Structure 1
């Protein structure tokens, strides 16, 4: 059970306004590395909305001297390597990767991914499957929600706990037993996933 959990915060409703990234590397079911970085959103997506600031507490001055996505994207590739990515409501986070890369005319990276929200829906019986509720069901509580690193750790905890429940040794088996579709981002990963499983396998 090895993967990289990922979470983004954004400056505003634009998916291209990434301002923070949290990464958690899991190897054999255990967290082995964590990384949190602030990101300077690309022009013209860098305006911070008051609503987003209230959610995550990141202000324009905190990212003024931060590196842009052109620096963080190669780091993401290096950190994750050949891992699948995992995110809670993964469509959002994959959309941030795609939109922020495209805003800077950078190649969208190739990754397979699994959504921990969908895994949680098929693992627990909860009134809500929001990250805080699903993480609590996995035994991961009292974390700083909307801090990108803390959220990535919570996401990782959900997937590791769900895998144990389903006796799944890896993400591919977990996706199979929970009937959660495996997603793909980037041209090569998308083509490979489509050729293996057909277009209905893609999110």
Structure 2
């Protein structure tokens, strides 16, 4: 609660997991999913879908931590350090919305540097599978 500010009141009254996962699946559709350290996010998404009996997403999952390591060569590719390196302001640690927005901003900044126009192109240009 101290780190993420998630108190018992936060999830109280929220939709059930099945409804939430249906909404997430509808939002992401078959589009690429991008996050910093995507392995964690992918595992949560897949486990949550499996738990409630929904099909497991087969989206193209892409990691901005891996992207940052390849494009920027940073020794510690933590989200806040990558954001700082790229001059991205307004990042608030331990906030899920800020994490997602910052990951997107990192991908866009690196794409602009490399002239990429798509997620797949960005990773392909850097030799990342």
**TM-score between the two structures when normalised by the length of structure 2:** 0.90
Aligned residue number for residue 110 of structure 2: 162
Contact 2:64–2:106, Cα closer than 8 Å, also in 1: yes
The question of 1:77 aligning with 2:25 is answered yes
SS class of match (1:71): helix
Find the counterpart in structure 1 of residue 50 from structure 2. 102
Moved more, 70-79 or 93-102: 70-79
> Which of 71, 81, 84 is 1:133 aligned to?
81
Long gaps (5+) in structure 2: none
Looking at secondary structure, tell me which structure has more helix per residue: 2
Q: CA deviation at 1:73?
A: 1.7
Q: How far apart, CA to CA, are the structure 2 residues paired with 1:79 and 1:173?
A: 23
User: Where in structure 1 do 4 or more consecutive aligned residues deviate above 6 Å?
Assistant: none
Question: Match for residue 72 of structure 2?
Answer: 124
Tell me the CA shift for residue 86 of structure 1. Answer: 0.3
More strand by share: 1
Match of 2:61 among 113, 116, 139: 113
Contact 2:71 2:126 (C-alpha < 8 Å) held by counterparts: yes
Structure 1 vs Structure 2 CA RMSD: 1.5
Alpha-carbon distance between aligned partners in 2 of 1:80 and 1:140, rounded to the nearest angstrom: 25
Give me the TM-score of the superposition, normalised by structure 1.
Answer: 0.59
Matches for 1:1-203 after TM superposition, within 5 Å: 53-181=1-129
SS of structure 1 residue aligned to 2:60: strand
SS at match of 2:71: coil
- Residue 94 of structure 1: how far off its partner (Å): 0.1
Gaps of 5+ in 1: 1-52, 182-203
